[in-house]
Structure 1
C-alpha cells in the first residue's frame, strides 16, 4: 500500500522503463479488471497534431460556466504528476491519486506477472477514468499520440474532435499525411459525431472515409462552421464572428493571441452546439463570456513585459509555424531573441530552419529528460550567424539577461522543457 505521494512519484518513475507501447490490449485488460470505469463517464475524445490542449481549455471553461463538473485528462503535464488529471480547474489531489493507485496496484502486479506490463501512461489513464466516473458530469480526454492505437482510445465518446493533422511522431504514425490522418481518424466511433478542423485534402479524404464507414456525422471546418476575423488589436484581445451552416452566429472575443486559437475555439463552439442538440443545457451568454476569460499557460504566454518574455510549447513543425505566425503578427518591429530545446525524435532541422531567420540571436540548450536533444545534435541543424550553445538551460536563461526593454525574448520547444522553465519563472515572477 502506498501511503505518501513521494512513493507514487517513485512508482510512476519506475514504470517509465516500459516505455511507449502503442496498442490497446493492456489498457482494455486493466479497465476490465477495474469493472470498466470508462463506461460510466460521459466523455469527449480529442486528437490532433496541435491544438488539442487549447481546444480542451475552451470547452472546459464553457462547460464549467454552465455549471458542469468537467474532467480533463491531458498530456504532457506542465504541473507535475497530478497535472495530467483535472476536475474543473483543480488537479487531482495527492491523497486521491494515492487512493486510486492503491486500487489499481494489485492488478498491475497481476499483469506484470503475466509479462503484460502496463505502461506509465496506461496506469495514468486508468486513474483518470476511475476519478472521472465518481467526480464529473462530463470529461475531456486528450490523446497521447495519434489516436487509433493510443491508450486513450478505449471508450465510446459522446463526440470526437480532430483538431488538425501534420507531421509529428512519424516513427510511430508513419511518414505521410495520409498515414498520420489514419491514426487520428481511429478515434471516430460508429454513429458518434466527429468535428474536424482545417485539414489538407489528403487528411480530409481519410477522415471522410472513416466517418462514412462508421456512419459518424462529420462536421468539417469551413463547411459545417466557419469564422470571420473582426479584429486583432493586441496580444491580449482578438475578436471574430463564428457561424454555422445551420444559421447560428455569434461574436467571440478572446484574450489568447494567434489565429490558431481562433481555429481551436471554433472547434470548441461547434462541440458545444452539438452537445446542446444532444440535450445538454447551456447558458450561451456565460459560455461566450467564459471563452473571453480563458488564459493558457505555455501557449504564447507572456510572463513579463518590458521586456516581453514569451513561453510557448511549439514542439513540432506545425507548432513552430503557429508560433511564428503569432510572433510576427504582434512583434514584427521588435528585436527578437530565442532560447530553444526539444526532443531528439522531433524534426529539429525543419523546426530550427523555420525559427532561426526570425531572431537576432539564438541560444540552443537541453534539459533533463531521456528524450531531450543534446547540444551536439542541435549543432548539426543550426545555421544562425549568432548562435550560442549552453548545456545548462538555467544558465542559458540567466545569460540572456533580458536587458533590452524594447526587445522580445522567446523560449520555446518541448512542452516538457517549457514546464520546467515556467516553474523557474514562477519563482522569479508572480505568475498566475
Structure 2
C-alpha cells in the first residue's frame, strides 16, 4: 500500500530499470484487468518528431476558450511530474497520483508474474492516465501524445476520434529506424480504421508512407500544404500573423504569441482539428474561441523568454529539425541582436549537424553538460564545433551564472538542447532572476 506522493513517484520511477519495451501486449493486459478504461474516453491521438506539444497546446487553449473540459497526456515534463496528466492545464494532484498508483500497482505486480514480462515506467504512467480520465476525472475530450514512435507506443491502445501526425524528422533512430520512410512507418502506426488523419509531414518520401497507410485504413487524410493552407504574413515582436484555410473554414489575420514559422504550421494543424471536431463531432467552437485560444496559447520550454533584463530564452530543440526551426525563429525575430548560445545534448543525437546549425547564428558558443546517463560531456560536445573560439563548462550552473552576469543589455542568451536539461536549467534561471 502506497501512503504518500513521494512513495508513489518512487515506485513509478523504480520501473525505469525495465527500459523501453515496444509492444502493446502488456498495455492491453493491464487495461483489461482494469475494465478497459480506454474505451470510455473521447480523444485525439498525436504523434510526430517535433511539434506534438505545441499542436496539443493550441488545441487545448481553443477548446478551453469554448468552455470544454480538456484532459492532456504529455511527456516529458518540464516543471513537475504531475503535469504529464493534466485537466485544463492543471496538473493532477499529489493525492490523486498516490490513489492511482494504489489502483494500478496490484495489476502491475500480477503482470510481472506472467510471461508477458514487467511493465515499463511509461506503460504504467499511460495506464494511470487512461484510468484517470475514464474513471476519476472525466473530460469532454482528451488529447494524448505518443511517447516514442507510434505503432508500438503505449498510447496506441486507444481508438481516437481524430489522429494527428505533426511531422517526421531524424530522432530516436536507434529504435524507429534510420530513414525518414522507416520513421514515418512507425508514426503512421497510430492511424486507425476509418479515423481521419491530419498531418504536417512535408518530405515526399515520408508523406507517401502516411498516404499509403491512410488508404489502407480508409481514413480521410488532410495534409498541410494540400487540403490545409496557411499564409504566414509577418513575424512581429510579440508573435506571428497568418491566414488559415481548409475545406471547412477560412480564418484571416490570426495571431499566435508562440514565435516561429514552425509554430504557424503547428497552429494550422490544431485549427484543422478544431474544424473537424466542429463539423463531425458537434463541438461548438466559434471564431472568437479560435482567436482567443491561439493568442493565449503558451507552452513552457518552447522558445520561452524567461527574462528581459537580461534577455534569456530557453528552447527544447533536441534534434536537427528542432534546431533548424529554432535557428529560423532567431533570424526572424532577433537578427539585429548579439546571440549567445549555451548548448548541451545527449550523445546519441546528430551532433555535427546540430552544432553546425547553431553556429550559423551564434556570436558566442558555450558548450556544457548535465547529470544524465546519455548526456555527452562538454569537452566531447565542443569537439563537434568548427570554431576556434568557444567556451567549455562541465558545470552548467557555472556556465549560466557567468554568462548572465556578463551579458549586455540587448544580448540574447539562448539555452537549448535536451528537454531533460531544459527542465533543470529553467528552474535555475527563474530562481537566479528572482534573486536579482
State the TM bucket, normalised to the shorter chain. over 0.9
Once residues 321 and 376 of structure 1 are traced to their aligned partners in structure 2, the CA distance between those partners, rounded to angstroms, is 23
Contact 2:44 2:144 in 1 (8 A): yes
Once residues 249 and 427 of structure 2 are traced to their aligned partners in structure 1, the CA distance between those partners, rounded to angstroms, is 45
Once residues 321 and 165 of structure 1 are traced to their aligned partners in structure 2, the CA distance between those partners, rounded to angstroms, is 13
Equivalent residue number for residue 276 of structure 2: 274
- Give the count of matched residue pairs: 430
Classify the secondary structure of the residue corresponding to 2:255: strand
Asked whether 1:348 is paired with 2:360, we answer no
Could you give the per-residue CA deviations for residues 281-339 of structure 1, whole angstroms, max 9, x where no partner exists? 22331222121111221111111113321100001000000000001111112211111
Distance 1:230 1:358, change over 3 A: closer
Asked whether 1:58 is paired with 2:61, we answer no
Aligned ranges 1:305-384 → 2 under 5 Å: 305-384=308-387
Contact 1:223 1:245 in 2 (8 A): no
Distance 1:247 1:159, change over 3 A: closer
Once residues 224 and 324 of structure 1 are traced to their aligned partners in structure 2, the CA distance between those partners, rounded to angstroms, is 28
1:377 Cα offset (Å): 3.1
Contact 1:356 1:362 in 2 (8 A): yes
1:269 Cα offset (Å): 0.4
Equivalent residue number for residue 129 of structure 1: 130
Could you give the per-residue CA deviations for residues 162-207 of structure 1, whole angstroms, max 9, x where no partner exists? 1011111110111111001101111111001000114111011100
Equivalent residue number for residue 89 of structure 2: 89
Contact 1:232 1:239 in 2 (8 A): yes
1:426 equivalent among 413, 424, 430:
430
Asked whether 1:415 is paired with 2:416, we answer no
Equivalent residue number for residue 164 of structure 2: 161
Once residues 434 and 295 of structure 2 are traced to their aligned partners in structure 1, the CA distance between those partners, rounded to angstroms, is 22
Contact 1:60 1:88 in 2 (8 A): yes
Equivalent residue number for residue 35 of structure 1: 35
1:277 Cα offset (Å): 1.3
Once residues 12 and 431 of structure 2 are traced to their aligned partners in structure 1, the CA distance between those partners, rounded to angstroms, is 26
1:267 Cα offset (Å): 0.2
Contact 2:306 2:314 in 1 (8 A): yes
Contact 1:402 1:409 in 2 (8 A): no
Question: Please, which moves more after superposition, 315-324 or 384-393?
Answer: 384-393
1:32 Cα offset (Å): 1.3
Contact 1:256 1:295 in 2 (8 A): yes
Runs (4+) of structure 1 exceeding 6 A deviation are none
Classify the secondary structure of the residue corresponding to 2:326: helix
Equivalent residue number for residue 390 of structure 1: 393
Question: Please, which moves more after superposition, 378-387 or 218-227?
Answer: 378-387
Contact 1:160 1:193 in 2 (8 A): yes
Equivalent residue number for residue 151 of structure 2: 148
1:276 Cα offset (Å): 0.7
Q: TM-score, normalised by structure 1?
A: 0.96
1:244 Cα offset (Å): 1.2
Distance 1:83 1:247, change over 3 A: closer
- Give the root-mean-square deviation of aligned CA atoms: 1.5
Once residues 247 and 150 of structure 1 are traced to their aligned partners in structure 2, the CA distance between those partners, rounded to angstroms, is 33
Could you give the per-residue CA deviations for residues 97-154 of structure 1, whole angstroms, max 9, x where no partner exists? 1101100001111112236110000000011111111321110000111111111111
Equivalent residue number for residue 184 of structure 2: 181
Equivalent residue number for residue 194 of structure 1: 197
Classify the secondary structure of the residue corresponding to 2:11: helix
Equivalent residue number for residue 263 of structure 2: 261
Contact 2:366 2:390 in 1 (8 A): yes
Contact 2:231 2:242 in 1 (8 A): yes
Once residues 239 and 221 of structure 1 are traced to their aligned partners in structure 2, the CA distance between those partners, rounded to angstroms, is 17
Asked whether 1:8 is paired with 2:12, we answer no
Distance 1:168 1:399, change over 3 A: same
Once residues 240 and 195 of structure 1 are traced to their aligned partners in structure 2, the CA distance between those partners, rounded to angstroms, is 19
Asked whether 1:24 is paired with 2:24, we answer yes
Contact 1:357 1:384 in 2 (8 A): no
Distance 1:407 1:266, change over 3 A: same
Equivalent residue number for residue 242 of structure 2: 240
Distance 1:297 1:247, change over 3 A: closer
Once residues 65 and 126 of structure 2 are traced to their aligned partners in structure 1, the CA distance between those partners, rounded to angstroms, is 26
Contact 1:198 1:222 in 2 (8 A): no
Question: Please, which moves more after superposition, 211-220 or 306-315?
Answer: 306-315
Contact 1:307 1:402 in 2 (8 A): no
Equivalent residue number for residue 410 of structure 2: 406
